[in-house]
Amino acid sequence: MTNNQESRGLATLVSDLAQQVTSLLQTESRLLRAEMSEKISKAGAGAAEVLAGAICLLAALMVLLQALVIALASAGLGAGWSSLLVGIVVAILGIILLRSGTKSMAPSELTP
Protein backbone atom coordinates (compact mmCIF):
# COMPACT_ATOMS: atom_id res chain seq x y z
CA MET A 1 0.00 0.00 0.00
CA THR A 2 2.88 2.39 0.64
CA ASN A 3 4.22 1.83 -2.86
CA ASN A 4 0.81 2.72 -4.33
CA GLN A 5 0.61 5.90 -2.24
CA GLU A 6 4.15 6.89 -3.26
CA SER A 7 3.35 6.42 -6.94
CA ARG A 8 0.18 8.48 -6.56
CA GLY A 9 2.16 11.12 -4.71
CA LEU A 10 4.81 11.17 -7.40
CA ALA A 11 2.19 11.34 -10.14
CA THR A 12 0.51 14.23 -8.35
CA LEU A 13 3.83 16.03 -7.95
CA VAL A 14 4.65 15.62 -11.63
CA SER A 15 1.17 16.81 -12.59
CA ASP A 16 1.45 19.83 -10.28
CA LEU A 17 4.87 20.63 -11.70
CA ALA A 18 3.54 20.51 -15.25
CA GLN A 19 0.64 22.81 -14.34
CA GLN A 20 2.94 25.29 -12.59
CA VAL A 21 5.39 25.35 -15.50
CA THR A 22 2.49 25.94 -17.91
CA SER A 23 1.15 28.72 -15.70
CA LEU A 24 4.60 30.30 -15.45
CA LEU A 25 5.06 30.23 -19.22
CA GLN A 26 1.64 31.79 -19.79
CA THR A 27 2.38 34.54 -17.27
CA GLU A 28 5.77 35.25 -18.83
CA SER A 29 4.16 35.37 -22.27
CA ARG A 30 1.59 37.94 -21.10
CA LEU A 31 4.34 40.01 -19.48
CA LEU A 32 6.42 39.91 -22.65
CA ARG A 33 3.45 41.05 -24.76
CA ALA A 34 2.77 43.94 -22.39
CA GLU A 35 6.40 45.04 -22.42
CA MET A 36 6.62 44.82 -26.21
CA SER A 37 3.42 46.84 -26.58
CA GLU A 38 4.90 49.55 -24.38
CA LYS A 39 8.17 49.58 -26.33
CA ILE A 40 6.32 49.78 -29.66
CA SER A 41 4.31 52.75 -28.38
CA LYS A 42 7.50 54.53 -27.33
CA ALA A 43 9.12 53.77 -30.68
CA GLY A 44 6.08 55.19 -32.49
CA ALA A 45 6.26 58.41 -30.50
CA GLY A 46 9.98 58.65 -31.21
CA ALA A 47 9.39 58.11 -34.92
CA ALA A 48 6.84 60.94 -34.95
CA GLU A 49 9.37 63.28 -33.31
CA VAL A 50 12.05 62.28 -35.82
CA LEU A 51 9.64 62.98 -38.69
CA ALA A 52 8.72 66.39 -37.26
CA GLY A 53 12.41 67.23 -36.84
CA ALA A 54 13.16 66.16 -40.40
CA ILE A 55 10.37 68.36 -41.75
CA CYS A 56 11.73 71.36 -39.80
CA LEU A 57 15.25 70.70 -41.06
CA LEU A 58 13.99 70.43 -44.64
CA ALA A 59 12.26 73.80 -44.33
CA ALA A 60 15.45 75.32 -42.87
CA LEU A 61 17.50 73.86 -45.72
CA MET A 62 15.17 75.44 -48.28
CA VAL A 63 15.52 78.84 -46.64
CA LEU A 64 19.31 78.54 -46.48
CA LEU A 65 19.54 77.47 -50.11
CA GLN A 66 17.37 80.41 -51.14
CA ALA A 67 19.66 82.72 -49.16
CA LEU A 68 22.63 81.25 -51.04
CA VAL A 69 20.92 81.92 -54.37
CA ILE A 70 20.24 85.51 -53.32
CA ALA A 71 23.83 85.95 -52.15
CA LEU A 72 25.21 84.64 -55.46
CA ALA A 73 22.82 86.84 -57.42
CA SER A 74 23.85 89.86 -55.35
CA ALA A 75 27.49 89.03 -56.07
CA GLY A 76 26.74 89.56 -59.76
CA LEU A 77 26.10 86.02 -61.02
CA GLY A 78 22.46 86.69 -61.90
CA ALA A 79 19.34 85.13 -60.40
CA GLY A 80 18.91 82.46 -63.06
CA TRP A 81 22.52 81.29 -63.03
CA SER A 82 22.63 81.38 -59.22
CA SER A 83 19.53 79.17 -59.00
CA LEU A 84 20.92 76.78 -61.60
CA LEU A 85 24.30 76.52 -59.86
CA VAL A 86 22.81 75.89 -56.41
CA GLY A 87 20.31 73.40 -57.85
CA ILE A 88 23.02 71.41 -59.64
CA VAL A 89 25.28 71.29 -56.57
CA VAL A 90 22.42 70.15 -54.32
CA ALA A 91 21.31 67.55 -56.89
CA ILE A 92 24.83 66.11 -57.13
CA LEU A 93 25.08 65.97 -53.35
CA GLY A 94 21.69 64.24 -53.18
CA ILE A 95 22.70 61.65 -55.78
CA ILE A 96 25.93 60.88 -53.92
CA LEU A 97 24.09 60.47 -50.60
CA LEU A 98 21.35 58.36 -52.20
CA ARG A 99 23.80 55.98 -53.83
CA SER A 100 25.86 55.69 -50.66
CA GLY A 101 22.76 54.99 -48.58
CA THR A 102 21.33 52.38 -50.93
CA LYS A 103 24.72 50.67 -51.17
CA SER A 104 25.00 50.41 -47.37
CA MET A 105 21.46 48.99 -47.19
CA ALA A 106 22.12 46.29 -49.79
CA PRO A 107 21.42 42.74 -48.56
CA SER A 108 25.07 41.80 -48.97
CA GLU A 109 26.03 44.57 -46.52
CA LEU A 110 23.47 43.51 -43.92
CA THR A 111 24.36 39.84 -43.67
CA PRO A 112 26.43 38.85 -40.65
pLDDT in tens, 54-102: 999 999 999 999 999 999 999 999 999 999 999 999 999 999 999 998 8
3-class SS letters over the chain: CHHHHHHHHHHHHHHHHHHHHHHHHHHHHHHHHHHHHHHHHHHHHHHHHHHHHHHHHHHHHHHHHHHHHHHHHHHHHCHHHHHHHHHHHHHHHHHHHHHHHHHHCCHHHHCC
Q: Is the pTM of this model over 0.85?
A: no
Q: Report pLDDT digits (tens) over 17-49.
A: 989 999 999 999 999 998 888 888 888 888 899
Domain residue extents for the chain: 2-110
